[in-house]
Chains A and B, each alone.
Chain A
């Protein structure tokens, strides 16, 4: 009994994934068709990649006791920039500038949150709001189409295969999945085996103790926001490439969903706990949810309601289990 309880409290993401699978099977879906066809599995991974890439950076900020809600704004501005700038400069340079834009915003976030010691939640929400306005101005609130096939190929291409889904034929691995895996390995290494990574746990666990131990808390924590901004911009570029358009509309939901996914995975807002693996599970959960709802042909408004409900339910459960831990009975 106790073990079941612990499973529920510590591996919420896994449990939630299991619940979704069961619900889908009960809803009459053929599980093998839904999950185990290579197409769907890849598609699911593929559709979650950008969330995961955003989540990797956000995980660092949350471990260090902060958070980053500006990523939605960075995502859309960088996405639009990456397309618009191609008119003025070669594509690689345009992409670089778009990503560096995220770095810059992260730097400013770091100044406000870390150097000036403001409450991260609402201030980064404000920065996100600001950037969404900028994105709308840049795009005139219309989708910005891209014309370069090379650009489109970045996120839609496949390696070791042609991307064709025919029975008995290996379709190859999507570029996006490769990028995600590379980022994942890098972040997992960063957090486990570098002084920077270990320092983040100390800073999130106890800010003053970390400071008195000679850790440059400001620099390290500032760096998390810079990284998070950069990853958000990378995500924005990849999203534009994948959809072949840049638009201001994708940002609204993303920031909260990504932060939520990271927390669902087990990285707590209290700081000092969590990890990259957990975040990936938490974010894949949202990818799976999207995928499952599409396979089950749920209309989009109902999808929105379900997603909202899942977010609330999981956060509620998260708080509730912590409350239970605090209580005596």
Chain B
């Protein structure tokens, strides 16, 4: 190589990016040293994803310079970046699920690989090099999230990548899978590959990052070696203000049984029975795919399930569809906000009033003034940031959209509130507000069923947790008195073992 190798694999200088009405990046500068793991932390909306998308070529920067491996990069495409040796592993994995592992690794390079046989042979080599045993002919749709990441990493290696960016890779990994990922990260680092690791989980940042950059509101706040940061400093810099507590106090007035579910059996669930008490927040802990979402969907009548009995306040209720669930006093914040929660082209007001249509109709006719009142009331009480209630909800940020969905249900005051990943993709400030709301619902005599992939969240919010593994309830704990690792063992299906 003739070009003098600098210490930096990547230099970002004064990069700016604006979207209509929003300044997403404001003169951002970051240097990434060769052979290091560089952590980037920040709340949602801090500009991390925008920056990464500029690096990969999905977006174009407005101003600033980017120097990768000694070359100044003006415009690029995702494909060019990969060929240059800059690979990104996105949160939503970039694989075609109906195609095989091998074909995915060499997607778009069928010719170079000399057909199917070459493709699979090369893929096998790469997978072996990171210790992944999955068959190259298997369809990606059959793989776990963790294995898919391995496939993505293999794909990055196939391009001789010098820098791999991982965008929140741990979101849906189990602890064991996480350990494996960390092992691979160390292995890559040993090969001289630099890594940018984006996360908002501080444990991970302190665990294996060498240098940490904090971003907030489109600016880089600080870049320092990990050892010079303290946990509190990092949080303060991320949030821009000190948060006393990440979670509110647990509510204290758990009463008698509110709802009881018996004999819930489906293809995925096996004999699920549980009770929910008044004033309680009940957490469901388990891996993604363990059956947490299926349980609440079944109770809510979202999936067709027969045979179980649900009693509320001692009276048996029939719930075959969400309408009946609503009438029985249940509310659901679904897992996927965009696909299952929002009607994007509709206004904030109409999105809020969706569940309470009956409340403001007379003889089947909508009374617009009442509807407007409902919208205004919820927007005000939940402090939704929106110019007015008539703008389309797609223009709001994730946290504000989520508040609207919460408001939709608060309007009809359900006694049982089911929240499936209520804080996913929401910034810290809005998270806290949602926690307080949950607590308020419980304290007013209602109950909350909380599902979250963020273990600290469930453990700190819940009065009681049920651990779910492979469709079975494997344990019941009071997280206040039981250490987290015991709960986690149960959630991983290890509780019964006498090990």
A–B contact (CB under 8 angstroms): yes
Which residues on A are within 8 Å of B, measured CB to CB? 193-195, 198-199, 201-202, 204-206, 208-215, 272-273, 327-329
- Residues on B with C-beta less than 8 A from A199 are 108, 110
Determine if B108 and A215 form an interchain contact, defined as CB atoms under 8 angstroms apart.
yes
User: Nearest Cβ distance between residue A200 and chain B, in whole angstroms?
Assistant: 11
- Residues on A with C-beta less than 8 A from B269 are 328
Binding site of A, secondary structure by majority: helix, strand, loop or mixed?
helix
- Fill in one digit per residue for B299-323: 1 if any A CB lies within 8 Å of its CB, else 0: 0000111100000000000000000
Determine if B305 and A329 form an interchain contact, defined as CB atoms under 8 angstroms apart.
yes
Q: Which B42-89 residues have a C-beta within 8 angstroms of A?
A: 56, 58, 77-80, 82-83
Determine if B96 and A210 form an interchain contact, defined as CB atoms under 8 angstroms apart.
yes
Determine if A213 and B107 form an interchain contact, defined as CB atoms under 8 angstroms apart.
yes
State whether the Cβ of B486 lies closer than 8 Å to any Cβ in chain A. no
Among the 9-residue stretches B31-39, B97-105, B129-137, B414-422, the one with 4 or more Cβ atoms under 8 Å from chain A is: B97-105
User: Nearest Cβ distance between residue A145 and chain B, in whole angstroms?
Assistant: 48
- Residues on A with C-beta less than 8 A from B98 are 201, 204-205, 272-273
Determine if A329 and B99 form an interchain contact, defined as CB atoms under 8 angstroms apart.
no
User: Nearest Cβ distance between residue A212 and chain B, in whole angstroms?
Assistant: 4
Q: Take A205-B97, A205-B98 as given contacts and tell me if A327 and B303 are in contact as well, using a CB distance cutoff of 8 Å.
A: yes
Determine if B96 and A209 form an interchain contact, defined as CB atoms under 8 angstroms apart.
yes
Which A-B residue pairs are the 4 nearest by beta carbons? A214-B79, A205-B96, A212-B78, A195-B110
Contact of A328 among B78, B82, B95, B267 (CB under 8 A): B267
Determine if A205 and B305 form an interchain contact, defined as CB atoms under 8 angstroms apart.
no
- Residues on A with C-beta less than 8 A from B103 are 198, 202
- Residues on A with C-beta less than 8 A from B359 are none
Contact of B108 among A194, A210, A273, A328 (CB under 8 A): A210
- Residues on B with C-beta less than 8 A from A205 are 96-99
State whether the Cβ of B111 lies closer than 8 Å to any Cβ in chain A. yes
Contact of B304 among A202, A209, A327 (CB under 8 A): A327
- Residues on B with C-beta less than 8 A from A328 are 266-269, 294, 298, 303-305
* 12 extra interface residue pairs, beta carbon distance < 8 Å, beyond A195-B110, A213-B78, A213-B79: A199-B110, A206-B95, A211-B78, A213-B94, A214-B77, A272-B96, A273-B98, A328-B266, A328-B267, A328-B268, A329-B267, A329-B303
State whether the Cβ of B115 lies closer than 8 Å to any Cβ in chain A. yes
- Residues on A with C-beta less than 8 A from B109 are 214
Determine if A206 and B96 form an interchain contact, defined as CB atoms under 8 angstroms apart.
yes
Determine if A193 and B115 form an interchain contact, defined as CB atoms under 8 angstroms apart.
yes
Cα distance, A329 to B320, chains bound together (Å) = 13
Cα distance, A213 to B99, chains bound together (Å) = 14
Contact of A209 among B56, B82, B107 (CB under 8 A): B107
Contact of A202 among B58, B82, B107 (CB under 8 A): B107
- Residues on B with C-beta less than 8 A from A209 are 94-96, 107
User: Nearest Cβ distance between residue A9 and chain B, in whole angstroms?
Assistant: 16
User: Nearest Cβ distance between residue B228 and chain A, in whole angstroms?
Assistant: 36
Determine if B97 and A202 form an interchain contact, defined as CB atoms under 8 angstroms apart.
no
Cα distance, A215 to B58, chains bound together (Å) = 14
Chain A CB within 10 Å, residue with most, of B82, B95, B107: B107
Q: Take A193-B115, A213-B108, A328-B268 as given contacts and tell me if A201 and B99 are in contact as well, using a CB distance cutoff of 8 Å.
A: yes
Contact of A212 among B94, B97, B115 (CB under 8 A): B94
User: Nearest Cβ distance between residue B94 and chain A, in whole angstroms?
Assistant: 5
Give B115's nearest chain A residue, CB to CB. A193
Give A215's nearest chain B residue, CB to CB. B108
Give B140's nearest chain A residue, CB to CB. A205
Give A216's nearest chain B residue, CB to CB. B108
Cα distance, A202 to B99, chains bound together (Å) = 7
User: Nearest Cβ distance between residue A57 and chain B, in whole angstroms?
Assistant: 21
User: Nearest Cβ distance between residue A282 and chain B, in whole angstroms?
Assistant: 19
- Residues on B with C-beta less than 8 A from A195 are 110-111
Cα distance, A213 to B103, chains bound together (Å) = 12
- Residues on A with C-beta less than 8 A from B99 are 201-202, 205, 272
Cα distance, A209 to B108, chains bound together (Å) = 10
- Residues on B with C-beta less than 8 A from A206 are 94-97
Cα distance, A199 to B108, chains bound together (Å) = 6
Chain B CB within 10 Å, residue with most, of A202, A208, A328: A328
- Residues on B with C-beta less than 8 A from A210 are 96, 107-108
Give A327's nearest chain B residue, CB to CB. B304
- Fill in one digit per residue for B270-303: 1 if any A CB lies within 8 Å of its CB, else 0: 0000000000000000000000001000100001
